[in-house]
Amino acid sequence: MDDYLLRLQREPFPNYVKERIEGEIKKIQKRSDSHTKEISEDPENDNLTEVEQKLNERHFGLKKVKKLIINYLGAKKQAGKNLGKVICLIGSPGTGKSSIARSIAEALGRPFTKASLGGVHDEGEIRGHRSTYVHAKPGIIVQALQRAKKRNPVILVDEIDSMGKSEHNGDPAAAFLEIFDPEQNENFRDHYIELPIDLSQVMFICTANDAQKIPLPLLDRMEIIEIPPYNESEKFHIAKEYLIPKLLNKYRLTKEQLDFEDPAIKKIIKDYTWEPGIRNLEKKLENIFAEFSKKKAQGDLITEKITSAKVQEYLGKPAVPDLSSEVDYDKPGVVNGLGVLNPEIGGGSVLPIEVKIFSNGEGKIITTGNLKKIMKESIEIAISYVKSAAAATKFNLNQNIFKNQDIHINMPKGDIPKDGSSAGIALTTAIISALNDKKINKDIGMTGEINLSGIVGEIGGLREKIYAAHRKKYKAVFIPKKNENDLDDIPSEIKKDKYSRLLIEAGLFAYGPTKGRVQNVLFPALIPLDLLKKEKEHVTGFSPECFFIEKIGEKRIENSLILRPTSEEGHTLHENKEEARDFALNILKVYEDYAKNTLYLGVIVGKKSEGEKFAGAIETYTVECLLPDGQCLQFATSHYFGDNFCRLMNVEFQTKDNKRQHPFSTS
């Protein structure tokens, strides 16, 4: 630049021209010095144990996420170079994506900086604008390097899914393909600086809310790590162990001055926040801190214990909508669907559906509740399936039922828009329930897409929907068979108190409300002959005492039906054979005690011989007595079946380690 200044002095230009040119040369000189000077590089901490410890200190839970991150860093360390893929953290707002990236940088000993892509549609925002443009400046990647002042920072590329494309200003995604490519990023050119920049030492971490909005070529270069939504238990621990201590420090308060009872924290989470993350939870807690600080400054309070009752004093009425309070579960046609009301922020919700049948109608289908296009299509599919089921005389329906009746389908809270295909199962069940005038258990939730054949399809957002059902303490949740593997992502503390029903075909899942621990179960009264043959294959010494039904009217049926007489009895299912056998023996003790101490019978307790035991049982235990007239009385029996009958009827349950197996039964 000094040469240019010397040449300028020799030129015969007017002074005002020389002054202008000299100013521009000095600007370029200053810019060149600031952008091209050597940027130092800090040594990296490659101790993965320390990295893992740092992540555990800063983030509660997220075991699967942390494991994937450590695996990625371990592979990168072993390869000794960039792997050609960048980490992309996918999750709803407030789930800790940026915080995780910052923790990775701190653990590695690298500087951390952020490049936000929200609303970026111009490739020049990435590559920079040429210095000849007014207000020109480097692109956001070079700006991030300037802030980091190092060659090897962690740069968080935030909201890469919100990046747009302009017809006239290039494609920002194309720039990132070059930035992320280890074969090209050693010589990345920013239009403003016009010099090659080495980005090979930079660790890029991307974040996104929705992977489907990321351009596919970019997605191929990413190591996708999903950040799951927090459940209420995790939010409680985060609030108690992280957020409240942080706010106490921020407001210079002690726990003795402002203390939160556990039920109060849980109430804030349940009644005042509706999100997969914790941003709103932190805001609500800070509202309480700010209000208390004001009262303390005014001399109104010195200390405060936040109880459940105090929460409403500080935060007002609960803010989370409870749609289930809008319907009458004592009437047929009311079913709990499960959905995600706001896909932008996430968060599962119960979506009650109510169906009303009007006789003397014209076959009209009426829908209300601010339903969008896909939801209306789901209703049309459900109606068509029910019509075809009625034509096949399924579900006790008459095919003429639609000709003279109107059906009104409503989803409460018309001010909340509702869309999506996952309500198919709930819609179908509600329609059949209303047509059959049979109530559905209010403690059941369901989600699943349905097609015209009644086949249930896979849905998204299962975690959020299960969390919503868990908040309502539902006893059972019906999900599609194709989502079975997604149950691995549901925390064990939720799965252990919930039965996940895996469905293949739509149907009426419960015939009415029950009390206590009693559940509705449909057992076949008529057994197809081929199933009985299957039982014979399973069971040694099987000799049925049965009635055979060969004809219905004058029409002979292909597969004979068996009417098998049996007594009224109770059945139990158990996780393992030891537990089942112990239960059968304990019941035997109950029988013996009743016979001896209530009926005053002299009885003998024992085990039946192989020839006498119940067909299909592994062991049959008995309580027997000799009557005064010389006859022998079998007073009671208790059977241990192993898993024979459960294999026959294909009854399965999900174990604690998420495997499927047949239970062991007794009678």
Q: Where are the domains of the chain?
A: 2-33, 48-226, 232-315, 324-503, 526-563, 572-666
Question: Is 422 designated active site?
Answer: yes
pLDDT value of position 356: 92
Query: What is the spatial distance between Cα 241 and Cα 249, in angstroms, rounded to a whole number?
Result: 13
- Which of 535, 464, 525, 493 shows the shortest CA–CA distance to 228? 464
Question: What parts of the chain have a pLDDT lower than 50?
Answer: 34-38, 497-500, 503-515, 517, 520-524, 539-541
Name every residue whose Cβ is closer than 8 Å to that of residue 573 and which is 6 or more positions away in sequence.
Answer: 646, 651, 653, 663, 664, 665
pLDDT value of position 534: 55
Name every residue whose Cβ is closer than 8 Å to that of residue 84 and which is 6 or more positions away in sequence.
Answer: 181, 182, 221
Query: What is the spatial distance between Cα 94 and Cα 230, in angstroms, rounded to a whole number?
Result: 10
- Which of 531, 504, 342, 352 shows the shortest CA–CA distance to 430? 352
DSSP per-residue codes, 327-360: S-TTSTTEEEEEEES-TTT--EEEEEEEEEEEES
DSSP per-residue codes, 637-656: EEEEEETHHHHHTT--EE-T
**Backbone dihedral angles phi then psi of residue 57, each to the nearest 5 degrees:** -65, -35
Query: What is the spatial distance between Cα 425 and Cα 564, in angstroms, rounded to a whole number?
Result: 33
pLDDT value of position 408: 93
Instruction: Answer whether 340's CB lies under 8 Å from 346's CB.
Output: yes
Give me the architecture of the 48-226 domain, per CATH. 3-Layer(aba) Sandwich (3.40)
- Which of 277, 413, 235 shows the shortest CA–CA distance to 337? 413
Class of domain 324-503: alpha beta
pLDDT value of position 510: 37
Q: How far is CA 625 from CA 270, 577, 588, 613, 629, in A?
A: 59, 29, 14, 17, 12
> Domain 232-315: which topology?
Helicase, Ruva Protein; domain 3 (1.10.8)
Instruction: Answer whether 562's CB lies under 8 Å from 546's CB.
Output: yes
Question: Is 116 designated active site?
Answer: no
Instruction: Answer whether 198's CB lies under 8 Å from 77's CB.
Output: no
- Which of 549, 569, 566 shows the shortest CA–CA distance to 558? 549
Helix (H) / strand (E) containing 429: helix 424-436
3-class secondary-structure state, position 588: helix
Q: How far is CA 152 from CA 108, 113, 137, 155, in A?
A: 11, 11, 22, 9
**Angle at CA of residue 188, ends 184 and 30, nearest 5°:** 165
Tell me the pLDDT tens digit for each residue of 287-339. 999 999 998 898 888 888 999 889 888 888 887 766 677 778 888 899 998 88
pLDDT value of position 346: 56
Which residue of the set 235, 266, 442, 465 is catalytic?
A: 465
pLDDT value of position 399: 75
Token pair of 522, please? 């449909």
Read off the pTM: 0.58
Give the number of C-alpha atoms closer than 13 A to the C-alpha of residue 608, restricted to the C-beta side. Answer: 21
